[in-house]
Amino acid sequence: MAKAVTVKVKLVSSADTGFYYVTKKNSRTMTDKLVKKKYDPVAKKHVEFRESKIK
């Protein structure tokens, strides 16, 4: 079977609150780590979320 083009990734808060989002990413076109600014409801502000593996 062929490897899937889109993979699920976990975006972990850089504020170390433990909050995370789960999103999909195209592994062929986006080869680098995903970094997005999103809202962290625990910290109550917008912070950077960095990609990590889903365990």
Instruction: Measure the CA–CA gap between 21 and 12, rounded to whole angstroms.
Output: 7
Q: Given this model, what pLDDT does residue 28 score? A: 92
CATH fold of 6-52, please? Rubrerythrin, domain 2 (2.20.28)
Q: What is the pLDDT of residues 1-31, one digit of tens each?
A: 888 899 999 999 999 999 999 999 999 999 9
Side chain identity, residue 34:
L
Q: What are the residue boundaries of the structural domains of the chain, listed by start?
A: 6-52
- Region of poorest pLDDT, from 3-7, 36-40, 42-46, 48-52: 3-7
Q: Given this model, what pLDDT does residue 6 score? A: 94
Contact present, 12 and 47 (Cβ < 8 Å):
no
